[in-house]
C-alpha cells in the first residue's frame, strides 16, 4: 500500500527517537513491499525557533491531509517562559489533538516477558500478569474547559466540562477495544471505568452515561466502576485485575504515567490518538526528556511501538505491526537494553543501536 505519514520530531529526544521509528518503518516497507511517504514538519519549540509558532500553519495542514502522524515529543525549559497559549504543550500538542478531533487516546501498558525484572513491583505481583489498555478521553475536561484568574490574579479556575456525546464516543472505543482483546470469547473482556463520582458532577454524568451505554449495547462486556484514588492504589496493589481502563482526560494522564512505571519504564509505552476520521496521531507517552537529549541514550522503543500501532490502527496492516512487535520482543530477549531498562550495573546500548537491531529483526522473515 501507499500512505502518507507526517513526521513531527519535535524537541529534546524527539528527533533521536523518531529517527529510529522511521528506520523501522523503512524496514517494513522493504520487507512487505509498501511505500510510506514520510515527510518531516517542524513542531514544538523547534518550530517556534525556526518559524515563530509551535504549530505552523503548514504543519497543521500537512497533519490534516496525511494518512497518519508520527510524533516524537514537544517542550523543554527553553520555551517555558513563552505565554501559556504559545507554549509547545498547549499550542502544538493540545491544538493538534483538538483540531484533528482525536478524542480517544489508547495507551497499552504491559510487562514484556524479557523485562519482568525491570518492574519495581514484587515478582509475585508481576507474575500474575500486567497487560492493560488505558483509553483516555483526550479532547475534553479540564484541559480544554474555560480557565482563568479572578481576584486580581489571586484565585484561579479550570472548568471541567463533559457532555453525554463526549463520554459515549470514548466509552464506545473502550468497549470495542475490550471485545477485540478477547475475540475468541475465552473469557469475558472487562472495562474498568474510572471517575470520582463521589465528589464530581462530571464524574456522576460519566458513570450514568457509561452504565447506560453498557446496558444498551455492550452487555457482553463486563463493566466495573472505580473511584480514581482507588484505581491508583489497585494499579500497584493488583495490576493484573485490569484489562481496559476507561477514563477522562486528566485522570488518564496521571494513571497512564503510573501504569508505565509498573511495567518498568516510561520509555516502553506507545500511544495512539484516534478520532472520527481514519488518520491518527501516534506518539510515545513520555515527554521530550531535555536532561538526556542529544546523548544518544534515549529508549526509542515507545516510538517504534507507536509506529506499529499506526500500521495496525490507521492502515489496517496487522501482520506488519506484529512484525515490529515481535522484533522488539526478540531484541529484548537477546538482552539488548537502553539505559532506562538495563539491569543495575548492566550494559546498555545507544538509541540508534536499539533502532538498528529492531529494523534488522523486522527484515528477518521467521
Ligand atoms: C501526555 C502529556 C501531555 C498531557 C502534556 C505534555 C501536555 O503528559 O501526553 O500524557 O498532559 O496530555
Ligand atoms: Mg502525561
Q: Which ligand is nearest to the CA of 105?
A: 1
- Contact yes or no for 114/332 (Cβ under 8 A): yes
Q: What is the topology classification, in CATH, of domain 120-262?
A: Isopropylmalate Dehydrogenase (3.40.718)
**Res 366: pLDDT:** 57
- Of ligand 1's atoms, which has the minimum distance to the CA of residue 283? 9
Q: Maximum Cα–Cα distance for the chain, whole Å?
A: 66
Q: What is the pLDDT of residues 20-52, one digit of tens each?
A: 999 999 999 999 999 999 999 999 999 999 999
Give the bridge partners for 247, in sequence order. 136, 194
- At residue 166, φ and ψ (nearest 5 deg) are -65, -40
Give residue 74 CA to ligand 1 midpoint distance, Å.
10
User: What CA–CA distances, in Å, run from 108 to 104, 246, 250, 301?
Assistant: 13, 12, 17, 13
Q: What is the pLDDT of residues 263-317, one digit of tens each?
A: 988 999 999 999 987 689 999 999 999 999 999 999 999 999 999 999 999 999 9
Determine which one of 67, 243, 253, 340 is catalytic: 253
Q: What is the topology classification, in CATH, of domain 1-102+272-366?
A: Isopropylmalate Dehydrogenase (3.40.718)
**Res 343: pLDDT:** 87
Query: Can you tell me which residue has the cell 496493589?
Result: 237
- Model confidence at 365, pLDDT cuts 50, 70, 90, reads low
Helix 351-363 to helix 301-313 angle (10° resolution) is 40
Alpha carbons 137 and 135: distance in angstroms, whole number: 7
- Model confidence at 181, pLDDT cuts 50, 70, 90, reads confident
Please state the pTM of the whole predicted model. 0.94
* Ligand 1 pocket residue status of 285, Cβ below 6 Å: yes
**Mean local confidence (pLDDT), 10-20:** 98
**Res 364: pLDDT:** 82
**Res 185: pLDDT:** 54
Confirm whether 1-102+272-366 and 120-262 share one CATH topology: yes
The answer on pLDDT for 172 being more than 90 is: yes
- Contact yes or no for 61/48 (Cβ under 8 A): no
Select from 8, 80, 93 the residue to mutate for testing ligand 1; criterion: most ligand atoms less than 8 Å from CB. 93
The x, y and z cell numbers of residue 267, run together, are 520509555
Q: What is the pLDDT of residues 316-347, one digit of tens each?
A: 999 999 999 999 999 999 999 999 999 888 89
In the chain, where the domains are located: 1-102+272-366, 120-262
Amino acid at each position: 500500500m501507499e500512505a502518507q505519514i507526517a513526521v513531527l520530531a519535535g524537541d529534546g529526544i524527539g528527533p533521536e527517537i523518531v529517527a529510529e521509528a522511521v528506520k523501522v518503518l523503512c524496514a517494513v516497507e522493504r520487507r512487505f513491499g509498501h511505500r510510506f511517504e514520510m515527510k518531516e514538519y517542524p513542531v514544538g519549540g523547534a518550530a517556534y525557533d525556526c518559524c515563530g509558532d509551535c504549530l505552523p500553519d503548514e504543519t497543521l495542514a500537512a497533519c490534516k491531509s496525511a494518512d497518519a502522524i508520527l510524533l516524537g515529543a514537544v517542550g523543554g525549559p527553553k520555551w517555558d517562559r513563552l505565554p501559556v497559549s504559545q507554549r509547545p504543550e498547549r499550542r502544538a500538542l493540545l491544538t493538534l489533538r483538538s483540531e484533528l478531533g482525536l478524542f480517544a487516546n489508547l495507551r497499552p501498558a504491559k510487562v514484556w516477558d524479557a523485562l519482568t525484572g525491570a518492574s519495581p513491583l514484587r515478582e509475585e505481583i508481576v507474575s500474575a500478569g500486567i497487560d492493560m489498555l488505558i483509553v483516555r478521553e483526550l479532547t475534553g475536561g479540564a484541559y480544554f474547559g474555560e480557565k482563568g484568574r479572578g481576584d486580581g490574579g489571586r484565585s484561579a479556575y479550570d472548568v471541567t466540562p463533559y457532555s453525554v456525546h463526549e463520554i459515549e464516543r470514548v466509552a464506545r472505543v473502550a468497549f470495542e477495544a475490550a471485545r477485540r482483546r478477547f475475540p475468541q470469547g475465552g473469557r469475558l473482556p472487562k472495562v474498568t471505568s474510572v471517575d470520582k463520582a463521589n465528589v464530581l458532577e462530571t464524574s456522576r454524568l460519566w458513570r450514568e452515561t457509561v452504565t447506560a451505554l453498557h446496558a444498551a449495547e455492550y452487555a457482553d462486556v463486563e463493566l466495573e466502576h472505580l473511584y480514581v484514588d482507588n484505581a491508583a492504589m489497585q494499579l500497584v496493589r493488583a495490576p493484573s485485575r485490569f484489562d481496559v481502563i476507561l477514563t477522562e482526560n486528566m485522570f488518564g494522564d496521571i494513571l497512564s504515567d503510573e501504569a508505565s512505571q509498573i511495567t518498568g519504564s516510561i520509555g516502553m509505552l506507545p500511544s495512539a490518538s484516534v478520532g472520527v476520521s481514519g488518520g491518527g496521531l501516534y506518539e510515545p507517552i513520555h515527554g521530550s526528556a531535555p536532561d538526556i537529549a542529544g546523548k544518544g541514550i534515549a529508549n526509542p522503543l515507545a516510538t517504534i511501538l507507536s509506529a506499529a500501532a499506526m500500521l495496525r490502527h490507521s492502515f489496517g496492516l496487522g501482520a506488519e505491526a506484529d512484525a515490529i512487535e515481535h522484533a522488539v520482543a526478540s531484541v529484548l530477549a537477546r538482552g539488548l537494553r537502553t539505559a532506562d531498562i538495563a539491569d543495575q550495573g548492566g550494559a546498555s546500548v545507544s538509541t540508534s543501536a536499539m533502532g538498528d537491531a529492531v529494523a534488522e529483526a523486522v527484515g528477518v522473515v521467521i
